[in-house]
């Protein structure tokens, strides 16, 4: 049994699909697979490995193949195909729906829809939407913000200043995605996307002030529905007994749903401007992704000045 599903009605609304036939309300029809299928083999009578829980897309190739058949063969192929009870059949590119499909849909209770979009464009958009809707997910305590295009998950114990830092970042022109609770979805083997639970979307809690509506206070440009998680910043109370990396040579990671995400631990104490530090950390992380590591370059210069060949010096990462 799939862990998650999405109602067909949400896809109809998102992609402005035209309704040809629905056996029951679209809100009661659920999609549980993000994959789609072009059923050319099934329409030729080959049903080995056919997966009816995938949305079936009829494009130009399938349409021309069916149009080349005589009426008797067409009817047989369509009814055999619809007897597999696919979760939904969508005709793309504004193609005409064969009457045999509608007749068979009424018998086997199969939804039929159509779109004006081309098959390739619609396939990519549909898979992208379903991959997000059906992705495995967890909820993490923290704050998610977008800073200079980087999705940053701020973690740390309650009361350490995550929400206050996020509001300061918003005031500096960045965007809030989620405060207090972050729904994280694993949309691919390497990608995590975070968003706020619908009940607390655009809200933030400031101790001593209460709940604020960030969208109403700062405008629509201050919030965002979702964001890819590129970086984690962990806030912790300053510990004078603990060693903190002052060079940035050590690469720190945290694991979320099996994906390693770069992480930086920032010690908090009075007088430190966390918003500015996070802005710098965001730009530095982007720079690293682009292939330039300031700490490593600085270390090379120091080694050269000391007469040490940097290529012979292996720094433990």
What pLDDT does residue 242 have?
Answer: 76
Which carries the bigger pLDDT value, residue 91 or residue 160?
91
What pLDDT does residue 304 have?
Answer: 78
Extents of the domains making up the chain: 6-133, 137-299
pLDDT tens digits, one per residue of 12-67: 999 999 999 999 999 999 999 999 999 999 999 999 999 999 999 999 999 999 99
- pLDDT confidence tier of residue 2, bands split at 50, 70 and 90: low
pLDDT of 315 above 60: no
pLDDT of 317 above 60: no
Look at domain 137-299 and name its CATH class: alpha beta
What pLDDT does residue 1 have?
Answer: 45
Segment (H or E) for 127: helix 119-133
User: CATH 3.40.50.970: does it fit domain 6-133?
Assistant: no
Alpha carbon distance, N-terminus to C-terminus of the chain:
42
What pLDDT does residue 293 have?
Answer: 73
Catalytic residues: 141, 162, 180, 246
Show the beta-strand stretches assigned E in 3-88.
6-7, 18-21, 30-31, 36-37, 55-58
pLDDT of 115 above 60: yes
Q: Do 6-133 and 137-299 come out as alike in CATH topology?
A: no
Tokens of 44: 């030729």
pLDDT tens digits, one per residue of 261-294: 999 988 888 878 899 999 998 998 888 888 877 7
- pLDDT confidence tier of residue 308, bands split at 50, 70 and 90: confident
Give Cα separations from 202 to 122, 169, 231, 275 (angstroms). 31, 14, 21, 19
What pLDDT does residue 239 have?
Answer: 79
């Amino acid at each position: 049994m799939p862990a998650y599903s999405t109602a067909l009605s949400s896809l109809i609304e998102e992609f402005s699909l035209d309704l040809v036939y629905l056996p029951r309300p679209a809100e009661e029809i659920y999609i549980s697979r993000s994959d789609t299928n072009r059923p050319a083999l099934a329409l030729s009578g080959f049903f080995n490995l056919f997966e009816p829980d995938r949305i079936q897309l009829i494009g130009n190739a399938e349409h021309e193949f069916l149009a080349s058949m005589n009426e008797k063969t067409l009817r047989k192929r369509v009814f055999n195909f619809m007897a597999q009870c696919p979760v939904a059949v969508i005709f793309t590119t504004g193609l005409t729906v064969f009457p045999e499909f509608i007749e068979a849909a009424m018998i086997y209770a199969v939804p039929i829809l159509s779109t004006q979009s081309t098959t390739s464009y619609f396939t990519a958009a549909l898979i992208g939407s379903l991959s997000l809707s059906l992705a495995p997910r967890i909820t993490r305590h923290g704050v998610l913000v977008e800073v200079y295009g980087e999705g940053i998950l701020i973690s740390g114990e309650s009361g350490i200043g995550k929400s206050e830092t996020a509001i300061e970042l918003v005031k500096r022109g960045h965007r809030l995605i989620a405060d207090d609770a972050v729904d994280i979805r694993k949309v691919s083997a390497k990608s995590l996307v975070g968003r706020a639970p619908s009940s607390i979307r655009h809200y933030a809690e400031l101790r001593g002030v209460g709940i604020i509506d960030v969208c109403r206070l700062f405008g629509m440009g201050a919030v965002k529905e979702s964001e890819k998680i590129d970086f984690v910043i962990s806030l912790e109370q300053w510990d004078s007994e603990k060693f903190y990396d002052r060079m940035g040579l050590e690469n720190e990671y945290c694991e979320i749903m099996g994906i390693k995400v770069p992480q930086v631990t920032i010690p908090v104490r009075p007088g430190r401007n966390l918003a500015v530090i996070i802005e710098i950390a965001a730009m530095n992380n982007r720079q690293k992704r682009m292939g330039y590591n300031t700490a490593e370059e600085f270390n090379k210069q120091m080694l050269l000045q000391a007469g040490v060949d940097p290529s012979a010096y292996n720094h433990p990462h």
